[in-house]
Chains A and B, each alone.
Chain A
Amino acid sequence: MASLNLLPEDLKHLDLLRNRLATLSLNLSNAHRNMALTYPLPSRESLQASAAIMQTSLRSLQSILSENTELLQRIAVHPSTNYPGRTQLDFLSSMLRKKPEPEIETKMEMALEKAKESGIDASTLVTRRRGGRGGGGGDEDDEEEYGDGDGEEAEEGDEPTNEQWADCLYIFEGRLRDYIQVQEGRSYTVEEQEMGVENVRTGLRRNLLEEEESEDESGEEEESGEEEDDVVMIDGSGGGRGLQRQGQQRSGNTGVQPEHLFWLYARGRKDLPSRIELEANRAPVKGQVKRLPPR
């Protein structure tokens, strides 16, 4: 390790890079698994969550790559003298390989073409990397440029993502306008209005509307069709397990305990061995400490 000629910080950056790659790899495999398991596709929220997580990982990876451009360009990988080259040659060549595999190379070319079609110049990206801009790539610069624009369009070709930012802002403004003008005044969905707004569980612990009125001391008129938000407490007052207090009832008439379910999912059988201790039998009597199951 003495021959590495790397500072401890450099090693830390390399390790951080490795960790980020591992995280990204895990995120991708989770997303793949999620998509393969659910038929036909996962829910929109799940897909969006997966995409957001992968985007965060990629962004973080990109920032590390940008910050350490000089280091990464400077270092070269080579096997140590005590590496078992004769017996692990295949593994070694896959570790030292620089050229991407043909299918990966094809996908990279396709992605670059798509970027080109969208107006992102590939050589600009390379230039930015080699320019050694730190701190998260060009995102901050983009924002600054846009902020300075003051309504004027930023120069095109300088920062390739300005157009996308402009599109995002346009959509956002439209959406915000719609919310303020239309949705803000409607606190309840059609379904909730049909079932009666007094039955809606809002989860609020206090009546915000009453508080506002008492603070303002004004005679605000309530809009027709809208009632005050109900003051609804989440169950569990008094520090108890509100939803679970009558646990003894859970087995109902069949005597099937949760342990039976666990056994069913473990072994596909209903015949729970008698050696297994039921949680219901372990429920503490008043004043006694609750026992844990045998280890």
Chain B
Amino acid sequence: MGEFEVHRVRFFGLVPAGVRCLAYQPRGGRLALARTDGAVEVYNFAANYFQEKVIPGHEARSVEALCWVTGDRLFGAGLGGEISEYDLSRLCVACSVDGGGGPIWSMAANSSGTQLAIGCEDGSVKLFQVVPGGIQFERNLDRRKGRILCLSWHPSDTHIAAGSIDILRVFDVRSGQTVQRVMVNYHVHKVKRECIVWSIAFLSSGTVVTSDSFGRVQFWDWERGTLLESHTVSTSSVLSLAVSEEEDSIVVGTSTGATYQFQLLPVKMGSLEKRWVRTKPFQHHTHDVRAVAHSSTALISGGLDAQLVIRPLMEKMQKKGYEAALRKFTFPHRRLVSCARKARLLLFQFSQHLELWRLGSTDETGKDGEVLPLCRMPEHLVQLKSKGPEHIYCSCVSPCGSWLAYSTASRFHLYRVRYEGDSISVKKVPKVPKLLLPAYQLQFSADSDHLFVASARGSVHVLQLLEPGGCKHLHSYRPTAECPEAVYLLAVSSDGHWLAAASGDWAIHIYNLKCFKHHCTVPTYDCAVTALAIHPITNNLVIAYSDQQLFEFSIPEKQYTAWSRTVQNQGLHKVWLERDSPITHITFNPKNPSHILLHDIYMFCVLDKSLPLPDNSALLMNQSTLKQLPETARQRQLHAFKICKKFQPLLFADLLDENCLVMVERPIMDFKTQLPLPIQQKKFGT
């Protein structure tokens, strides 16, 4: 098919933040995750574990605890001392209330979803009433010294167990009194170290489960205050603990990166007497496992190594297969890199700054696999620091490279960049129009004349860019029907005629830019959209969904194309459908209209529509096989998917020109070295 000159970029120094806490919502199949930088993410298990919502962090807003209340309301609390409710359609904090007890270490909602309990630095446990549109302080429970690190409601909502340093306490919710206090290190003699109860769970049987800094998981009878069972799982802390809904399985995470499952099993076959047994150890993380969650079919753990690991339990699976596969997520499911094709620039988005780089060049050519000598090195042009505590939502560089834009929760910035020889000047565009903020996605038109701003309530604003450095609001598009969700993906046709916008309710609206009106809606497909792009010649919209399906929708004809129907009829290759990371970017090769270029974290693919689709018996990743075949034999083996897995983990790939690609990689080892050192463990032979 052809040779590409690949600019292999590894200087994007992204360090994903560690996972701080997890909250699994069993009804909706959604997992909320908070990172150490305060960002909150929501993963949709039904949509193939797609990271469907991201609320960027905030310097002053750490999140120590997350909880779902009445199914779909998400609350977070942190060391800032505030309890926040998140607006999941506008992807921002809806409201926040001061806890009034200093930094908040823990938070738990009762089973009916009417009350929130928080555990504070000052040793108080406070109850808040959940009311429509927010929360209201209700009362304090009996206060003692020592921060409350963890909390758990009894399923009947009558008692709360709270873990502190050296002690665990049980409160009666009605009276607010402490009805039991247990010294957890009573049994350990001559220990001067304090024992921190890191996590606690209150079972309906009246058993309180604690995990502590001595590496123990202990089971207590709260009424008698006696220790029922004690399991030492680690020499270092057991940081997190989660119980399954049936209360027959517990997952714990330790500071050595190991997670363990405990199961309540009969002592003998058929016996009624049951005991907690440590059954499965897992070592998926290299760093502290600060958060664990237990879904009905899987153990979920998140570590300071930024990994989210979903480990399905084989005994809960109906059949062995794709569903039972282990999932690991390290990188976001959206793109943090944008590329100025003409100017050969890359813009990297970090949490609080942007970096603009110019790619190097070569004047040599070579054969497959060769590394070409550089005649110009890549150049770091600009670092733009975002002012204020808010983290960046999105950013974009124009194709010509002369415009830069980014948005935070409350501010939108547009810059005009000028290149004069080796010097570069960046000038902020003053008086940007007041828009509905934040912007969730920014997209420049192909001729760099317009900027499209994805906004809340399904709206898209169009700004006209003016020389020498100004802009004006041209138009705002809204979907015909009321849409509460924000737009998170945009695609513009290169002729400047069409705009496609995907919003959080997974609807894709297409607008006609020439006559400023809504053109049509793509038939609803019940899965999250992960990438969108409009073909420069045919104006076909190519859509990638999180279940790995690909659709091609003809905008002028307002219907799926014949090729798309063929794909749906024949079905995509099984191996393609079983990939576990979503397509995050789609682009095209104007010289080869039949080619679609797409990539996910682990592969780059050129989809050649002119070739037959592979059936399940064919080898999907057949590039290495093809390379060994003689020219004549290749023809019969060719199929539409040309997959290259050489570049991993691939954060971004784009076509610079006809046969020149840019690939942005972030080797795991590169950012692992920037993480704090994990607990030193003796390994065999060292």
A binds B: no
